[in-house]
């Protein structure tokens, strides 16, 4: 199992969601609204809020997926969330030692 996390521009979420849901074996995702900043030398503010706060709105996506679909998920994120500018975001993948779906778990910790 892999945990895939990505930080993307909010405007890219609708298309990315559509593309991810069309992937065979896509397990679902969790999203959160977050704010982030790039290294000061890399980012030029595009509006007053960015200039005053130094943070821009982003979306964090978290996906726990089987190894065999990990590459297609990462490729889909890259292809559909990128605009080619500083601040596009980041994707990273980590190994998961164990993941238990709560709906498959019975009281006492065993899996159905």
pLDDT of residue 51: 66
Task: Count up the domains in the chain and report the number.
Answer: 1
Bridge partners (DSSP) listed for residue 5 = 62, 92
pLDDT of residue 36: 86
Instruction: Give the pTM.
Output: 0.82
pLDDT of residue 62: 99
pLDDT in 10s for each residue of the chain, 112 residues: 999 999 999 999 999 999 999 999 999 999 999 998 776 666 666 777 666 667 789 999 999 999 999 999 999 999 999 988 888 899 999 999 988 888 877 665 566 5
With respect to residue 112, please indicate whether it lies within any of the assigned structural domains.
no
With respect to residue 16, please indicate whether it lies within any of the assigned structural domains.
yes
With respect to residue 22, please indicate whether it lies within any of the assigned structural domains.
yes
pLDDT of residue 104: 77
With respect to residue 110, please indicate whether it lies within any of the assigned structural domains.
no
Distance CA 14, CA 6 (A): 15
pLDDT of residue 102: 83
**Residues in Cβ contact with 91 at an 8 Å cutoff, skipping those fewer than 6 apart:** 4, 5, 6, 74, 77, 78
pLDDT of residue 100: 84
Question: The CATH number of the domain where 19 resides is what?
Answer: 3.30.70.120
pLDDT of residue 4: 99
> Which strands, in side-by-side order, build the sheet including 2-8?
30-36, 56-65, 2-8, 90-95
pLDDT of residue 85: 84
The parent domain of residue 50 ranges over 2-104
Are the C-beta atoms of residues 7 and 82 closer than 8 Å to each other? Answer: no
């Amino acid at each position: 199992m892999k945990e895939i996390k990505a930080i993307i521009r909010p405007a890219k979420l609708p298309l990315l969601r559509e593309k991810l849901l069309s992937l065979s074996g896509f397990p679902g995702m969790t999203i959160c609204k977050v704010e982030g900043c790039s290294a000061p030398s890399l980012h030029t503010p595009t509006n007053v809020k960015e200039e005053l706060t130094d943070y821009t709105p982003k979306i964090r996506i978290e996906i726990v997926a089987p190894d065999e679909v990990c590459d297609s998920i990462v490729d889909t994120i890259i292809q559909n969330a990128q605009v080619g500018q500083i601040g596009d975001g980041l994707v990273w993948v980590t190994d998961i030692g164990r993941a238990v779906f709560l709906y498959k778990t019975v009281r006492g910790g065993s899996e159905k």
